[in-house]
Amino acid sequence: MKNPYLPYPVRIQEIITETQDRNLKTFKLVFLNPEDEAGFVYMPGQFAELSVAGQGEVPIGIASSPTEKGFLMFTVNRVGRVTTYLHNMKPGDVMGVRGPLGNWYPWEEMKGKNVVIIGGGFAFTTLRSSIVWMLDPAHRKDYGDITVVYGARNPGMLLYKDELVAWEQRDDITMHLTVDATDDPTWKYNVGFVPAVTKEKAPGAENAYAIVCGPPIMIKFTLPVLTDLGFPPERIITSLEMRMKCGIGMCGRCNIGTEYVCKDGPVFSMEKLATLPNEY
């Protein structure tokens, strides 16, 4: 068995500043060793530990899709020591990736179902991975209608803007983009909070799963909307964050009751969360 603490060496290929506040940057990483890339088999919803020698590691959701070959993509919010250092790194620099870690959205279980994706702010990363994966010709037929509600504070805070526009124009996915508020006259989409927009657009619950990722306040107000629409708790899926170190269920800090968010999660159904202490 491979040493699970040892990161794969990668090189930064590209750094994209995503948001107007410049606090979110997307890193495209390529493996230094081709055999490492072959060993890095992942599914949308999983995360990895980004490792910077001399700084430490941070657990970040994988924003690329397994259907996109040749690179991994991570969108990183600048909050602490490692992420601040990362934001100052340059294309060509060498760092590390350890993973893939954790579970993923229930892709097998969702086959043949409609999928409603609800995202807020910078929690859209593994949701991007999911959308790209489902829209891939190899997978699109496995899923029914795909509906996306994605909101940010203002237009400048939306991630992956070019892709959002491209998805808007497709007829095999329904996009509902929204911002909390804006004075931008060119904004032609919705204005309002994610829960309110979800309620207004009312995606059907029949034969459907909802994947909800966003800030706690958004999740809190979106859940009752989904329940009113008829989504049962076992078909409402979310992904949680926790402080992590090992990422493999050993270091002991990311538990909610019996479950380690890093290994037993980060993806949980609301049905499962209801059986656990409310400590997250």
Partner 1 sequence: MLKIFVPKDKMPRWIGRIMDGARVFAPVKEGDGYRFRLVTRPDKLDFSYQNTRLSPKELVHPPAEAMFSYSLKKGDPKAGILEEIPKALGTRVVMGIRPCDAKAFQLVDVNFVTDQYMDPWWQRRRQNTVLVGLGCHEPCSTCFCTSVGSGPFDAGALDVLMTDLPEGYLLEAVTEAGRALLADAPEGAPASDTVLTEARFLAQQAEKALPRLFMLDPLREKAMTALFQEAFWEEVQFACINCGTCTFLCPTCWCFDIQDEVHQQEGVRLRLWDSCMFPLFTLHGSGHNPRNQKLQRVRQRFMHKFKYYVDKYGNGPACVGCGRCVQYCPVNIDIRRVAAMMTASCVCPT
Give the footprint of partner 1 on this chain (CB under 8 A).
Answer: 1, 3-7, 9, 32, 51-58, 77, 79-80, 83, 93-96, 216, 241-243, 245-246, 248-258, 263, 275-277, 279-280
Q: Measured from the CB of residue 272, what is the shortest distance to partner 1 in angstroms?
A: 12
Q: How far is the CB of 26 from partner 1 (least distance, A)?
A: 18
As a three-state string, the secondary structure of 151-186 is EECCHHHCCCHHHHHHHHCCCCCEEEEEECCCCCCC
The SS3 call for residue 121 is: helix
Taking the least distance from each CB to partner 1, the nearer of 152 and 208 is 152
Residue with Cβ nearer partner 1 (18 or 57): 57
Residue 76: in which H helix or E strand, if any?
strand 72-77
Cβ closer to partner 1: 161 or 243?
Answer: 243
- Residue with Cβ nearer partner 1 (55 or 190): 55
Q: How far is the CB of 87 from partner 1 (least distance, A)?
A: 13
Q: Which is nearer to partner 1, 142 or 264 (CB)?
A: 264
Q: CA–CA separation, 166 vs 245, rounded Å?
A: 37
Question: How buried is residue 234: exposed, middle or buried, by Cβ count under 10 Å (0-12/13-18/19+)?
Answer: middle
Cβ–Cβ under 8 Å, residues 175 and 164: yes
**Contact by Cβ (8 Å): 40, 34:** no
- Between vectors from CA 242 to CA 163 and to CA 8, what angle results, nearest 5°? 65
* Alpha-carbon gap, residue 76 to 116, rounded angstroms: 24
Q: Min. distance of Cβ 80 from partner 1 in angstroms?
A: 4
With respect to partner 1, which residue has the nearer C-beta, 49 or 132? 49
CB of 135 vs partner 1, minimal distance in Å: 30
From the CB of 221, what's the least distance to partner 1, in Å?
17
132 burial via Cβ count (<10 Å: 0-12, 13-18, 19+):
buried
